[in-house]
Amino acid sequence: MPLLKGGTIVDDPWLTVAEDDPIPEAGAVIVGLKRWRAERERLILRDGPVGVRLTADQTPGELGDDLEFLDLVALEFPAFTDGRSYSNARRLRERFGFEGEVRAVGDVLRDQYLFLMRCGFDALEVRSGETAEAWAAATRAITTPMQPAAAGAAPAISLRERRAQG
């Protein structure tokens, strides 16, 4: 599946490993939380970066201190109307200070790219045919957000504060 990252469409360097599939010797892999817990030591010691994929009802808190071993957390959108992963992304960035890739997987509409970006997502798996221009246009649709969040342009409150201070 194509990946939108850094504002462009790229080949996905990560392999998502299904529950029962073998984990390759090397290369970047994404596993589920259960697999991570079961094979944590081996995954940490193995050659290649590791990411964990969380379902919408699993919170980043369940990874806790393990986040320091991870280069990627993928958050699922079981339906584009299910907004739990926005909160999980913000907690990852703002509470846990996670600096790796936060990837959206699942059912996402172009009209949600701005919300994703502001909540701290920096990559998403997209339907084939999606363009980098769509991401650029969607994430620039609103110049100044009205509230602080995990990423994006400075919010209204800070702009106004700066102005007030001259």
Partner 1 sequence: MYKYDDIDHALVRERVEQFRDQVARRLSGELTEEQFRPLRLMNGLYLQLNAYMLRVAIPYGVLSSGQMRTLAHLARAYDRGYGHFTTRQNIQYNWPKLEDVPDMLADLAAAEMHAIQTSGNCIRNVTADPFAGVADDEIEDPRIWAEIVRQWSSLHPEFSFLPRKFKIAVTGAATDRTAVRFHDIGLIMRRNWDGEVGFEVLVGGGMGRTPMIAKTIRKFLPKRDLLSYLEAILRIYNLMGRRDNKYKARIKILVHELGIDELGDLVEDEWARIKDGALLLPDAEIRRIEEQFRPPEYEDLPAEDTGVEALKFEDRDFARWVRANVAPHRRPGYAIVTLSLKPEGAPPGDVTADQMDAVAALAERFSLDELRATHEQNLVFPYVRQKDLPALWRQLQVLGLASPNVGLVGDIIACPGLDFCSLANARSIPVAERISMRFADLARQHDIGELRIKISGCINACGHHHVGHIGILGVDRKGEEYYQVTLGGAPGDDAAVGAIIGPALSSDDVVDAVETIVETYVALRREGEWFIDTYRRVGAEPFKARIYGGEVDAAA
Q: Which positions touch partner 1 (CB under 8 A)?
A: 59, 80-84, 86-88, 90-91, 94-95, 109, 111-112, 114-116, 118-119, 141-149, 152, 155-161, 164-165
Q: Closest separation between CB of residue 34 and partner 1, Å? A: 20
Q: Closest separation between CB of residue 119 and partner 1, Å? A: 5
Does residue 102 contact residue 133 with C-beta atoms inside 8 Å?
Answer: no
Q: Closest separation between CB of residue 23 and partner 1, Å? A: 30
Q: Closest separation between CB of residue 33 and partner 1, Å? A: 16
Q: Closest separation between CB of residue 72 and partner 1, Å? A: 21
| Shorter beta-carbon distance to partner 1: residue 34 or 162 | 162
| Shorter beta-carbon distance to partner 1: residue 8 or 158 | 158
Q: What is the largest CA-CA distance in the chain?
A: 60
SS3 string, 6-54, reads: CCEEECCCEEECCCCCCCCCECEEEEEHHHHHHCHHHHHHCECCEEEEE
